[in-house]
A and B are shown apart, each in its own frame.
Chain A
Amino acid sequence: MSWFSSTFSSSIGRKFAMALSALFLVFFLLMHLTTNMLSVFSANAFNEASHFMGTNPVVQFLLQPVLIAAVVFHFVMGFILEAKNKAARPVKYAKKDTGNATWISQNMIYSGLVILAFLVLHFIDFWVPEMNYKYIEQLPAVTDRYYGELVHKFQNPVRVVAYVIAFVLLSLHLLHGFQSSLQSSGINNKFTPGIKKFTEIYAIAIPLGFVLIAIYHFINH
């Protein structure tokens, strides 16, 4: 077996790759939240940031493909691990007591599926119209259109509710996932209790930020 396949087809190698893609996404969430936060404080700043992201070649042709690859890799590997792990116990227990293990740690695939459904909605909402605007219809660049588009999307209460549900599940996913990705990477030492606290605060604060911004625009316009 080659070095590559003996590393990345092993259970630990797969989980390490999973952890790396996940940590990238965790970091991306912070970037995304920072941009969104601008929309609360200043329509102009939000427009500028969005225009920069939408036209900068590094963002468009490097970061965006990397992000899409990380998302696709993460959920495809999630499905592979889930299938392999299910196959490791072909006959189920008639009675199972999961003891101390949290529900969310045992059901990452379900919180993941809700996030995936949300991502599809999110793509249809923002990414597809953007691609259409810029590359298909090739409409003239209007630098101050972004804020209006954002506010318009959040006028629909159904969309706001869907966002809230998705972010609650994302929060749960991260409550287990963030610290799990460190363990999967072999990091567990005397700082771990403190780091774990940090990951839990992060897992609640970041999704809460997204939710509050959506509700803010829903109420304010």
Chain B
Amino acid sequence: MDLKLKIWRQKNSSDQGQIVDYDIKGVSPDMSFLEMLDVLNTELIEKGDDPVAFDHDCREGICGMCSLQINGKPHGPDAAITTCQLHMRKFNDGDTIYIEPFRSRAFPVVKDLVVDRSAFDRIQHAGGYISVNTSGNTQDANAIPVNKDNADHAFDAATCIGCGACVAACKNASAMLFVSAKVSQYALLPQGQVERKKRAEQMVAQMDAEGFGACTNTGACSAECPKEISLTNIARLNREFLNSKFN
């Protein structure tokens, strides 16, 4: 199939950037979206042009590295997948496709479609961990009884791959879904109790310092999340934070 691509091109973080039109012909419906971009880049390189920079790593839907706002939606039109798992059969011959970077003050554009998501790493460093002594006498985690419901919810929260689609989808570029998943996975497990208050407090403080917006509870994030992280986690984050302040 033949497609018209409207791709955000930006030389570097200080460049203004603009949408550039590309025509691409003979795209196979079995290609992944990233493979389609690979084909475009091969053509650009052959012509001596600068290829389009975009993020990717595993191409298996597990690392969270691929991004892209495709026709206004993070990871494109399909539900519960990452861009590397999106296939061209979701599009029709002759379609125009907008391809833009994830937009947020906290995710500055590095080049073209590549954004710097290290704000998420800094939020993790602020409290998204448990402190254990790995001296060789560490208690076997499987020996600690955990309520089945809590284990399931913690596991669901832990499936977040830190891709940033929630931020890209939110009208406020809020990172609440991501932070709520990271806080929830520990709040529900015995190992997370010791640093529970500090964790919620510090991760929220870092989230705000990075310049993400507040949550208006529109639900756009959860709908676009490749791991379908639920909004109940955001309520839990609110509880954890308020508890750390008022208890």
Contacts and interface: CB of A to CB of B under 8 A. Distances in A.
Interface of A: 3, 6-7, 10-16, 81, 84-85, 87-102, 105-106, 108, 176, 179-180, 183-188
B220 A99 contact: yes
B209 to A, nearest CB: 10
Contacts of B73: 97, 99
Contact of B98 (A12, A14, A87, A94): A94
Interface string B216-232: 11111001100000011
B51 interface: no
A88 B174 contact: yes
A93 B100 contact: yes
A172 to B, nearest CB: 14
Interface stretch (B82-90, B125-133, B190-198, B235-243): B235-243
A99 B100 contact: no
B164 to A, nearest CB: 13
17 contacts: A10-B241, A15-B215, A81-B214, A85-B172, A85-B174, A88-B212, A88-B213, A89-B171, A91-B103, A93-B72, A95-B69, A97-B71, A97-B73, A105-B218, A106-B216, A106-B220, A186-B238
B71 A95 contact: yes
B246 to A, nearest CB: 8
B218 A106 contact: yes
A16 B235 CA distance: 11
B232 A184 contact: no
B235 A186 contact: yes
Interface of B: 6, 8, 19, 69, 71-73, 98, 100, 103-106, 169, 171-174, 176, 201, 204-205, 207-208, 211-220, 223-224, 231-232, 234-239, 241-242, 245
B171 A10 contact: no
A90 B219 CA distance: 21
Given A81-B214, A95-B72, A100-B223, A7 B235 contact: no
B213 A12 contact: no
Contacts of A10: 204-205, 208, 241
A95 B73 CA distance: 9
B238 A102 contact: no
A107 B214 CA distance: 14
Given A87-B105, A101-B219, 8 more contacts: A11-B176, A11-B208, A12-B237, A88-B105, A89-B173, A94-B6, A100-B219, A186-B235
A85 B174 CA distance: 8
Given A11-B214, A88-B173, A184-B238, A101 B205 contact: no
B194 to A, nearest CB: 21
Contacts of A101: 171, 218-220, 223
B172 A88 contact: yes
Contacts of B174: 11, 85, 88
B100 A105 contact: no
Contacts of A106: 171, 216, 218, 220
Given A11-B213, A88-B105, A108-B216, A99 B6 contact: no
Contacts of B218: 101-102, 105-106
Nearest to A107: B171
Most buried by B among A92, A185, A188: A188
Contact of A88 (B211, B219, B224, B238): B211
Contacts of B201: 6
Nearest to A80: B214
Contacts of B211: 87-88
A182 B69 CA distance: 31
Contacts of A185: 238, 242
Contacts of A99: 73, 169, 220, 223-224
A128 B237 CA distance: 43
Contacts of A16: 238, 242
Contacts of A89: 103-105, 171-173, 213
A90 B100 CA distance: 14
A106 B174 CA distance: 13
A183 B231 contact: yes
A82 B216 CA distance: 10
Contact of B100 (A11, A95, A100, A188): A95
